[in-house]
Amino acid sequence: MDRALLEEDIFDIELKLLLEGILLRYQHDFRDYSVASLRRRMQQAMERYGCATVSELQGRILHEPAMFAQMLQFFTVQVSEMFRDPAYFRALREKVVPILQTYPSIKIWVAGCSSGEEVWSLAIMLEEEGLLERAMIYATDINVEALAAAEAGIYAIERIAQFSENYKLSGGKRSLSDYYTAAYNGAIFDRRLRRHFVFADHSLATDSVFSEVHMVSCRNVMIYFNKDLQDRAVGLFHETLVNRGFLGLGMKENLLFSRHADSFRELSAAEKIYQRA
């Protein structure tokens, strides 16, 4: 048997054992995440922690809870920007906001909120559209460190130029600087916006629906799931959305092959915004 193929097979066996061990030890289920993505990330983790094999990495994770907390950065990709994909936010302003304005109160779920850039972006958009005072944004992730960063709303000052450009392209009506204070090489976003956030630990792999909402934004999360987990997530979104509620996905995601595809209609195809049928 080809030696490289054998080593790859062993790697995948060890990877499966690692995922089962994490589920049993920490009740986090990564078994339906994309295998190709998990391979890359575990190789990165092995290099980071000086482990020669996945089994060696597993031993440390199972015996060191602090190690598992650190490993979440490899299982959950924490890469985002404020007003990322500005056309998405422009489409929300033009096509979704007018319908949200008809509700006396609004609930929005940001699933897989990472370090919070999208949460703060949505709050700013709602503020400018006169909706924030009647809105509540639920921001969830499985990474408690990411949730803490999201709640803090402090971002490196060198990122603000890109954030500001995105904001302008998204249809922003003011200056992004109106919403933050610069201090100690960071931008601290307005605590007044924070009053409308609820942060919670929630897994799309194992947890259930927790509230009825008018919009779900889950962008660039499901690309790391296999098809079964994608279907589970979309099913949760359908279940949690009010009738004719909205679902926003990432630019590389869609519902074409989901078993729930018929439960949604395209509202803005290019920006991947759907409406519950």
In degrees and rounded to multiples of 5, residue 274 shows phi and psi of -120, 160
Beta bridge partners of 30: none
Is residue 249 within 8 Å of 274, Cβ to Cβ? yes
CA gap 254, 236 in Å, rounded: 15
* Single-letter code of the amino acid located at 65: P
Phi then psi dihedrals of residue 50, to 5 deg: 65, 40
| Residues 71-83 pLDDT 10s | 988 887 666 899 9
Q: How many CB atoms neighbour CB 229 within 10 A? A: 19
Tokens 């944004």 sit at which residue? 137
β-strands 106-111, 213-218: how paired?
parallel
Percent of the chain with pLDDT over 90: 83
The answer to whether the beta carbons of residues 60 and 67 sit under 8 Å apart is yes
Q: Which two tokens stand for residue 193?
A: 């916006």
- Give the span between the Cα atoms of 76 and 153, in whole angstroms: 19
The predicted-structure confidence for 85-113, as pLDDT tens digits, reads as follows: 999 999 999 999 999 999 999 999 999 99
Mean pLDDT (the chain) is 93
